[in-house]
Amino acid sequence: MVYLNYTNLDNETQQRLVSVSKKDVEHKFGNDLKRYAEEHHLEYDTLLEEEAIRNLYSYDFVFSI
């Protein structure tokens, strides 16, 4: 679960969440993503960013007001 303060959803917090998600995706699927990027002539960093954003939907968020 990710605990967030409802009044602090600024750009910095959003970037931190994407960064955490990137590390999570890279840890779980890094080799597969690299292979996929090479096979389909895609940039790895762009693919990682897209997957990290998609991965955020799998998190459970708890907001405190």
What is the pTM assigned to this prediction? 0.78
Nearest to 50, CA basis, from 26, 59, 3: 26
Helix spans in the chain (H):
11-39, 44-56
Range of the domain at 49: 2-64
Our count of domains for the chain comes to: 1
Q: What is the percent of the chain where pLDDT is above 90?
A: 60
58: helix, strand or coil: coil
Higher pLDDT, 59 or 7: 59
